[in-house]
Chain A
Amino acid sequence: KAGVTQTPRYLIKTRGQQVTLSCSPISGHRSVSWYQQTPGQGLQFLFEYFSETQRNKGNFPGRFSGRQFSNSRSEMNVSTLELGDSALYLCASSLYGLADLYQETQYFGPGTRLLVL
């Protein structure tokens, strides 16, 4: 099986612009989660989607949004970029996103490095 893929791998934007990142989960996986990694804050949960619905959300401003398509692919969007949005954005997938019931592992993609100038 192919792993989680993310595009683009690298991105440079300027303040005020918006950006869209894409994530394709492992085939058959229906849960997609997004994380932001920065040197100062570490790895932080952004949101999780399952069956095209946002099921869980972290503590990020409304400028960060996402969606999931019927084929489980997901996109996240950041509007009005700020310098502090420079980070590695990681996507993870799992079958159902319910470790309570299914003892699932999350598998991560290679990430998208975003630099905001």
Chain B
Amino acid sequence: GENVEQHPSTLSVQEGDSAVIKCTYSDSASNYFPWYKQELGKRPQLIIDIRSNVGEKKDQRIAVTLNKTAKHFSLHITETQPEDSAVYFCAASSGLNYGGSQGNLIFGKGTKLSVKP
């Protein structure tokens, strides 16, 4: 089955710097890669996602890149702000055979991002 590795587990940056979180996946059939942000004591919320037919997607200060050949994808946050401090989770799914389990999301273990003012 799918396995998702996420690095680093913790990341500390200075306000205004960029932050990069990387994930690798094992199942070449995976074609959907969402990123969730979970603030302390809150529920995870989707911040950006990418499908395998594109290599990059950007939304204001957040971007995600995908390298299908190497089976890795990354989250890039530019001009970080204190409110970006949270735990970020990557995930992958194949979306195949909706009636089965392949469409389920497999999550990485998370990266705790701290942005120091």
Report whether chain A binds chain B.
Answer: no
- Which A residues lie at the B interface, using CB under 8 A? none
B interface with A by C-beta (< 8 Å): none
